[in-house]
Structure 1
């Protein structure tokens, strides 16, 4: 039950070459490879999507950092930075830039799995920033996220390495603990984040429009997971191996992350914006008074 065999036969996750059997598990259908300047590039469509994700995430990080008075600015920037690193590592691994036969592949894969869990964990902690258990931007808020995220990264990466190398109770033929972390733990953190934000919007905000951002972000993420884990083989065969579930999974994950940014932006306002907006009625009133003076 707690195995990646069926998943890896459907979609080429980064850990699939390292588990199940000594030579890993290949999907039944995967995106065709491309020879680029003498280098065999796997998943070319996914590579393009990952590059787009890197560019868009960099723009979001820059936008977050320019909102100097927004609530939770530094905390949410950590999430986007972790997502950026996750996409970058995934791009290196799934496209064969780091070959599966390389001695470094297990280490980079372990780091990638660690970043996946850490990104989910960081998003969960950002979900509690709005409740102001600790004031945003303070050392206790920032360092609690940094330390716990670092602990999460190290734990998952070490579990992954132990699984790939059959250390102690960890075994690549039955990677139960790694499966639980990858699906149950990460899934639970995302579910708790979604529920906490629904509670935040409904009970603490007067504007209910951010609910749409939460709903669309959740739908994008779920759609990507469904296409990857269920329809990848059928999709791959239908489009003659030009695409597979990895491409749509990467695209939907990017859309979900963009909705996280849109949601954060919609519930956090800068003080400067409020101060400028509050002066407009005064300016309009003075202009009307000036217009009336010639007629007095």
Structure 2
């Protein structure tokens, strides 16, 4: 379908695909002729090798993906090294999932898995499932501090794992059913996928942010961690704005070398890094942090561990 502007319509990806080359754009469209919606402006590709060679799409974004994987590895290492930190085993799951999501995005955005491939729709469904499940895993970590279950115990860990897997499975099924036209799902009217991809994901991040604000305000004398999580949330929001509102302007100003996805990936990485900084700032062993109002040092081992 030719590149053009589309008005925003709830339940349709056409507007977003006209702004940015999302991985699912070739698979969903209100265009009855198929083919998806192309972005009005997108980053130029590079060719590796001779003719015909290999085309690599979004090269600048791929560099940020590699940086993101390195930084995530460093954060995971530091989290795992904080043996007495409360919620250590729960929060590290989020970072592992972010890393896997980044790997899937790297394979799809780069064109290594071509959109013409039979496997493309399955990888996109897996990528969407991982992305949504990662946001949900973050939300689950937002409840750890309220001690609904003692952190680090099988009850806490497996409840998050199972719930996250269920969200992943449901999201991947909705995506595949939409792409393949199974049952009531179809690519011309992907409202179910739209809800889980945009509405549910954003809701998870927002609720997590609100929960952490409540937790800090009610239990900590030091309110500086609010700044950390607020900056992280603002980075996430800025990334969405760069991708879905200003991508075309960025692309034109940069003469097609980058587009909104470049800043979207950077802002997402910075947001994830601020989540780590927030968690690190409220899990110091000398920190008094009690939901019940009683002072307790976080040692990560005893029955009085308070997140």
TM-score (norm: length of structure 1): 0.90
**Structure 1: gaps of 5 or more residues:** 276-296
Q: Distance in 1 between matches of 2:40 and 2:163?
A: 38
The whole-number CA distance in structure 1 between the counterparts of 2:227 and 2:286 is: 24
Distance 2:182 2:148 in 1: 40
- 2:13 matched residue in structure 1: 4
Query: Is 1:199 the equivalent of 2:214?
Result: yes
The reply on whether 1:232 has 2:241 as its aligned counterpart is no
Task: State whether residues 9 and 27 of structure 1, in contact with CA within 8 Å, keep that contact through their aligned partners in structure 2.
Answer: yes
Aligned to 1:288: none
What is the CA distance between 1:17 and its match in structure 2?
1.1
Normalising to structure 2: TM-score of the pair?
0.87
Q: Deviations over 1:190-225 (max 9, x none)?
A: 111011000000001111010110110011111110
Alignment correspondent of 1:105: 120
Deviations 1:230-268 (A, max 9, x none): 000111011110000111000000000000000000001
- Say if 1:70 and 1:271, in contact at 8 Å, map to a contact too: no
Which runs of 4 or more aligned residues in structure 1 lie more than 4 Å from their structure 2 counterparts after TM superposition?
none
Partner of 1:178: 193
TM superposition shift of 1:111: 0.4
Question: Which residue in 2 is equivalent to 1:127?
Answer: 142
Q: Deviations over 1:11-70 (max 9, x none)?
A: 111111111042222101000000123210000000001110011001111110010010
Aligned counterpart for 2:165 among listed residues 138, 141, 150 = 150
Q: Give runs of aligned pairs for residues 236-247 of structure 1, distance below 5 A.
A: 236-247=251-262
Counterpart in the other structure of 2:46:
34
| Aligned position for 1:266 | 281
Larger Rg: 1 or 2? 1
Q: Write 1 or 2 for the structure with the bigger share of helix.
A: 1
**1: CA distance between counterparts of 2:122 and 2:36?**
16
Pairs aligned (count): 274
Q: Which runs of 5+ in 2 are unaligned?
A: 1-8, 288-296, 299-307
